[in-house]
Amino acid sequence: MTTLPASSLSATGRAGARAETVLSAAVAFAMGAFLLFGAGFAGSDLLHAAAHDARHAFSFPCH
């Protein structure tokens, strides 16, 4: 992937690049939310314990 100066991109090109950035951020947010909350509130004790330990490792308050 090559980067071009912003002045050489058309309005459509900038909008497409912006949409791609927003989509990437939304996917990253969804995956992170699942890891913190989906796995953290899971019924499986092993999965819950792993998420709980990960929260403590990142200094994320969980109780």
Asked whether residue 61 is domain-assigned, the answer is yes
Q: Cα separation of 28 and 19, whole Å?
A: 14
Asked whether residue 60 is domain-assigned, the answer is yes
Range of the domain at 51: 25-63
pLDDT at position 21: 93
pTM over 0.75? The answer is no
Taking the alpha carbons of 54, 49, 56, 27 in that order, is the dihedral positive or negative?
A: positive
Taking the alpha carbons of 38, 40, 42, 48 in that order, is the dihedral positive or negative?
A: positive
Asked whether residue 45 is domain-assigned, the answer is yes
Number of domains in the chain: 1
Asked whether residue 59 is domain-assigned, the answer is yes
Q: Cα separation of 36 and 59, whole Å?
A: 12
pLDDT tens track for 30-54: 998 888 777 667 677 777 777 778 7
